[in-house]
Structures are given as C-alpha cells and as structure tokens.
C-alpha cells in the first residue's frame, strides 16, 4: 500500500452536558482527525488527546505539531511497504506522543483493511458480534443530581455504571448509588489519580460497597504505592493512566499493583499495542476492559471492535453516541439491550457523514507525499 497524502482535520464537538472529573471539566471537544489517502482506499484515525495536558502530557495542538514535524514525515521512506505494523516500527524512535502515534497508525490500519476487505474486529481477533456497555458518570454538584443521572442510564439499559470520584466526593455518592439501585448493579469508581497513599484508610472504606474495581486511585507513575494500596483493600485495583505499553502492564502485574487493566488504545499508542496488552493479560488470567475518551463514531467503532476480543470480560466505556453528542459525525451507535453491535464492514466499518463533518470542521491541512 502506498500513501499519496494525509489530511489533518480539526473539528469542534459540543458535549450534551459538561463532563467533570478530578482533573477538570469538559464542555466541548477539540478533536484532531487524520485521513490517510491511498490510490485504492482511505482510512481514518482519531486522536484522543484533550485540549489541555491534564489527563496526560499530550494535548491536541501538540499532537498536530508532532504529527506534522516528525511522525508523518517518516512514512514516505516506506514507499509501497506501508502497513500498520511498518508504521508502528517507523515511529518507535520517537519518545512518547502515543496518542498522536495511535491516530496515525489507526488511519493507516483502516486504509489497509478497507483495501483488503477485512474488518477491524476480524483483524484484531474479535470473538463476539456485540459488546456489553458501561457508562462513565462525571462528578456532580449534588447527590440528587447524581442519582437522577444514574437512574437515566440504568433505564437506558447500560449494564455497568462507573462513578468519577475525588477527595470529598467518594463515600457519600457511592453509598447513595448503591442504596438506591441495589447490590445487583455493576458499579465501579474512577479516581483519575486524585489520591495518595495517605488516603488508604479512606479508600479502604469503599470495600463495603462490593465494587467491581477502583480505577487509578494513585499517581500514574507510582506502581509501588499501588501495590501497597492493593494489600490494604479488598476492592480490585485497576490501572489506567499508569499503563502506556505492554511493558508497563507486565510490570504492574509482576508488582501486584493491579489485578485488572483498562486498555485505552490512544493512551498506549494504538490498537496493535492494545492487542498485545490484551494478549499478555489473557496469558496471566487478568481481565481487561476498554476505556473511552469521549470519542466520535470513528474512535468508537475501533473501540467496540477491540472490546469484542475474548479477554475483555468486563463491560467497557463504549457508550452509545448519544451519551456525549447530540449529533455524531458518523451513523450513531445505538444501545440495544445494553450492548453495541461490532461493525462488520471493511476497516472501521463506518465513515464520517460529509455534510456533518464539514459543519463541525474548524481547520483542515493537506500533506502531500
């Protein structure tokens, strides 16, 4: 496969409601899309970096810059030997910038699979044709507001609820949700690294609520203290921000810092690395689930395909399109009986709707090879 050019397109997507976590509030998404063009097919990649370096060190403007300056210029040297695996190898010398790398690798992989007629799910090794869906609920202004929001998602059919927590917003909201919706509700919490080991006693109080897991309670660069916390809690610890590669996952499991891994393809550098982490965890009997980054239908299609792999035994954050966006840029993903269907068409199996995409585009740049 030979690439003739790549388009970098910025779009502005307002959220249906502000989404608050321990590191900030999002009301709209500034999203970088990447379109890989070949003589025979086109492929799309979505960069999940946020506008500001809060969730990670990456941010949209920086991702666009590193793509233009360093990552995309490596591809012409591949000539007609371009493939997702070749791109992964070509980008390896550049440190970090995994979200930018993931967008480029995904765009190439989408074009590659559209050309061969194979779906993302088939390529990755999907074992199901639909996946169970959970939903992430942000930090609210009050308990009544939280209960109303959770109740709406339960009524929609989501099979798992994840509550964002932070110091001062943890025990009370979790207790309220558990009491209102009962012991049968699959419930987990996500701290986004908001706590320290000094909070271990407070975090251990969450054990009484029979949670599926607590996600990333401590700093992303401290596996040792996560291992210490794991000894003081019965609630399983799941790592998110700490896991940027298969090597990170192996270290976390070896140290006992986690018993569950959240796999976010953008965070780990792409779907090839995400598959490698899945395979490692399956080999060690460790469950994984697919996290979300408020993706459009493009990123959601790839995530749903990934979540269909056999090791993804816990519901992920693969919510329906309407969870975040009133109008998606693709045919929307609709929840049915708490599940989303895995796309079966070539590549992502979905593509942007031109009129909608144009209406939300804020800038576009063409890079010719």
Residues carrying an active site annotation: 164, 264
- Give residue for tokens 């388009």: 7
Task: List Cα–Cα distances, 134 to 50, 165, 317, in angstroms.
Answer: 22, 17, 5
Pairing of strands 214-215, 237-239: parallel
Pairing of strands 214-215, 186-190: parallel
Residue 55 half-sphere exposure toward CB, CA atoms < 13 A: 23
Question: How far apart, in whole angstroms, are the C-alpha atoms of residue 367 and residue 35?
Answer: 10
Task: Kindly report each contact of residues 261-264 with a partner whose C-beta sits within 8 Å and lies 24 or more positions away, as own/partner.
Answer: 261/286, 261/287, 261/288, 262/215, 262/216, 262/238, 262/288, 262/289, 262/290, 262/291, 263/288, 263/289, 263/290, 263/291, 263/306, 263/312, 264/48, 264/240, 264/290, 264/291, 264/292, 264/293
Question: How far apart, in whole angstroms, are the C-alpha atoms of residue 294 and residue 153?
Answer: 16
């Amino acid at each position: 496969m030979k690439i003739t050019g790549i388009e970098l397109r910025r779009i502005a997507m307002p959220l249906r409601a502000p989404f608050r976590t321990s590191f900030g509030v999002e009301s709209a998404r500034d999203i970088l899309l990447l379109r890989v063009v070949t003589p025979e097919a086109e492929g799309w990649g979505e960069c999940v970096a946020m506008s500001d370096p809060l969730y990670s060190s990456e941010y949209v403007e920086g991702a666009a810059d590193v793509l233009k300056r360093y990552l995309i210029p490596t591809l012409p040297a591949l000539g007609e030997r371009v493939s997702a695996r070749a791109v992964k190898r070509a980008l390896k010398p550049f440190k970090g910038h995994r979200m930018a790398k993931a967008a480029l690798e995904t765009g190439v992989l989408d074009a590659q699979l559209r050309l061969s007629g194979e779906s993302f799910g088939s390529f990755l090794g999907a074992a199901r044709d639909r996946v169970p869906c959970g939903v992430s609920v942000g930090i609210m202004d009050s308990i009544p507001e939280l209960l109303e929001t959770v109740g709406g998602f339960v009524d929609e059919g989501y099979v798992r609820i994840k509550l964002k927590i932070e110091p001062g917003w943890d025990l009370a909201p979790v207790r309220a949700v558990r009491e209102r919706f009962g012991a049968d509700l699959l419930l987990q919490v996500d701290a986004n690294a908001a706590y320290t080991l000094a909070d271990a006693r407070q975090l251990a109080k969450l054990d009484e609520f029979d949670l599926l897991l607590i996600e990333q309670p401590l700093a992303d660069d401290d596996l040792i203290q996560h291992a210490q916390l794991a000894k003081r809690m019965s609630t399983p610890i799941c790592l998110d921000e700490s896991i940027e590669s298969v090597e990170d996952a192996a270290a976390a499991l070896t140290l006992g810092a986690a018993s569950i891994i959240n796999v976010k393809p953008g965070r780990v550098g792409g779907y090839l690395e995400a598959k490698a982490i899945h395979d490692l965890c399956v080999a060690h009997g460790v469950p994984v689930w697919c996290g979300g980054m408020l993706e459009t239908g493009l990123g959601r299609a790839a995530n749903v395909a990934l979540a269909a792999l056999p090791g993804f035994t816990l519901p992920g954050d693969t919510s329906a399109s309407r969870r975040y966006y009133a109008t998606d840029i693709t045919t929307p993903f609709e929840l049915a009986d708490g599940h989303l269907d895995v796309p079966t068409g070539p590549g992502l199996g979905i593509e942007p709707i031109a009129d909608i995409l144009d209406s939300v585009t804020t800038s576009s740049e063409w890079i010719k090879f």
